[in-house]
Chains A and B, each alone.
Chain A
């Protein structure tokens, strides 16, 4: 008996000791994961505290319905609609560029490309999303804008929404191509083979079998990409201009919400003033717009996963 007890007791003590260490390590690792939660709480708290203090001075009704955004001028207007319209113009325009290109790229990658072509094409497309956005801004300003002025729209000024739209569109193509490609490849082979078996050709298999089956994943990628376009900052700051402008004409200069935030932080507006607090109100609007889109996209993705698991 005593021979049996001693090793057991020793093992028990060892376990206890290593468990204290184990718990400590577990707690440290938990704190690491907690950093992300604290980050979110910090973002929401800062935007809400400063944003709400803005709304005690400016009514939410004026902010969300006003059409004049001139907080830095002597005759102040706090209507955010020109910034929202600028943001949506860029977002929708970029979607019109990126949705067809991204979808076609995804279909080519998943349905047509040989493994060899795919292994070259997919990383090359993804390079587009790795290029810093300020580089896209440079490209838009020094290449696309002069090109448009020379050949398409000679009356345009030095800044125009369309060149920002083009580069932002190109920048989000990889998001759509990559996620939609994954969605298309997750469609079971049997579905395609059944369609081939009854004589469909590749176009018919793609558009009538694979694409509908992957549709939820593809739509999730669209929403994610548009949300990224709305949050994009540097390319629109450099290329689209700095004039709040309630317009749908892509050849005019517009200012997006992100570009406005940058313009205030580059200026010398003193902290604590109502002018400075506008960036929190605008940031809050931007944050919720992108958050809602990301949540919708995540929900669609989750539902889509349930189908084939």
Chain B
């Protein structure tokens, strides 16, 4: 009898605190935690729905033909979005034309050409750091380097009277190109990495040079992934407001740019301008502008998804 009580005493001592809780309590806690996780992950979705609803309620009153054909005005009933749409179109065309070759080129260099040395890892680290630099800092860069053509020390780059590109489409496009370049490069690298090595080896095996291998086998295979990344990067650039405010995109532009050196406004800038006014009519105009902006983004994202599904089953993860 004494033996047995001794055993039970040591047994009690050795007990893990977890085993003292009842199974029912553990199940209960498990269910509460599950509920918490589910609720937590739904908060974001619910807010997204509330946001869309908020915009949808105000955003269709001015959603008329005039909104797309008129320029901004002091009178809300005739104010339009045309200057902003044209400005965004101009800027994005140049951004795409610059960011695509430079981004893909850099990715090809890092994945296919670069030796694994300190320079390469420096470039790689630098790219991931650049991706984390706040966009407004890119705006400061653009303001000095592209608008004024100087880094603040030494001579400015001038052609005749004008230095830099001024507050123009070109300055905005160059700034945004640098901003999205890290995103384009990383996405392109992922796409290039996902091309199986066997394809390269087969190409080298029949005597192709590196460039022949890259240009006629690696790039075509990686293209759907690269295009997807490119579209997503462009859709980020379309919504960027801070850097092009910095370079001085005007908020009241009653014309469309004719050349890359003209002043411009862009969709998010025009929205900001309307939001900053106290009158409710302008807030509704802002909501209408947001609807146009979001529809553009949605279209681009859908395009990216379709591209990924249709063209690149193998490059999709």
Contacts and interface: CB of A to CB of B under 8 A. Distances in A.
B151 A49 contact: yes
Contacts of B51: 131, 135-136, 139, 143
Interface stretch (A78-86, A107-115, A149-157, A247-255): A107-115
A35 B181 contact: yes
Interface string B105-131: 110111001100000001101111110
Contacts of A202: 30, 33-34
B137 A43 contact: yes
B41 A42 contact: no
Contact of B44 (A170, A203, A238): A170
A227 B301 CA distance: 26
B136 A262 contact: yes
A124 B235 CA distance: 16
A258 B242 contact: yes
Nearest to A287: B137
A202 B276 CA distance: 49
A36 B293 contact: no
B144 A50 contact: yes
A224 B48 CA distance: 22
A290 B216 CA distance: 41
Interface in A1-45: 18-19, 21-22, 25-26, 28-37, 39-40, 42-43, 45
A151 B236 CA distance: 35
Interface string B137-150: 11111011100100
> Chain B contact residues (Cβ within 8 angstroms of A): what range?
35 or more
A133 B100 CA distance: 24
Contacts of A204: 18, 26, 30
Given A50-B144, A125-B44, A141 B275 contact: yes
Max chain B Cβ within 10 angstroms of own Cβ: one of A32, A40, A133, A290? A32
Given A37-B126, A265-B139, A294-B129, A26 B113 contact: yes
A99 to B, nearest CB: 11
A134 B44 contact: no
A77 interface: no
Given A43-B133, A134-B271, A224-B132, A124 B109 contact: no
B178 interface: yes
B102 interface: yes
A138 interface: yes
A245 interface: no
Nearest to A40: B126
B15 interface: no
Given A32-B102, A101-B40, A233-B136, A143 B141 contact: no
A283 B136 contact: yes
B297 interface: yes
Contact of B241 (A26, A128, A134, A228): A134
Given A29-B106, A105-B44, A141-B275, A280 B140 contact: yes
Contact of A124 (B45, B50, B239): B45
B152 interface: yes
A47 interface: yes
A125 B38 CA distance: 13
A291 interface: yes
A101 B43 contact: yes
Contacts of A40: 126, 129-130
B211 A22 contact: yes
B61 interface: no
> Chain A contact residues (Cβ within 8 angstroms of B): what range?
35 or more
B86 interface: no
A181 to B, nearest CB: 10
Contacts of A72: none
Contacts of A230: 134
Interface in B238-274: 238-242, 245-246, 248, 251, 268, 271-272
A241 B55 CA distance: 21
B95 interface: no
B129 A104 contact: no
A295 interface: yes
Given A35-B181, A36-B126, A137 B30 contact: no
Interface stretch (B75-83, B195-203, B283-291): B283-291
B29 interface: yes
Interface string B86-97: 000000000000
The 5 closest A-B CB pairs, nearest first, are A231-B134, A104-B40, A132-B239, A32-B105, A29-B109
Interface of A: 18-19, 21-22, 25-26, 28-37, 39-40, 42-43, 45-47, 49-50, 53, 100-101, 103-105, 107-109, 111-112, 121, 124-125, 127-128, 130-139, 141-143, 170, 173-174, 177, 201-204, 206-207, 224, 227-228, 230-234, 237-238, 258, 261-262, 265-266, 271, 279-280, 283, 286-287, 290-291, 294-295, 298
19 contacts: A26-B113, A32-B105, A35-B102, A36-B126, A36-B181, A39-B181, A47-B137, A108-B38, A130-B235, A130-B297, A141-B283, A142-B54, A142-B283, A142-B287, A224-B132, A227-B132, A232-B134, A261-B246, A291-B132
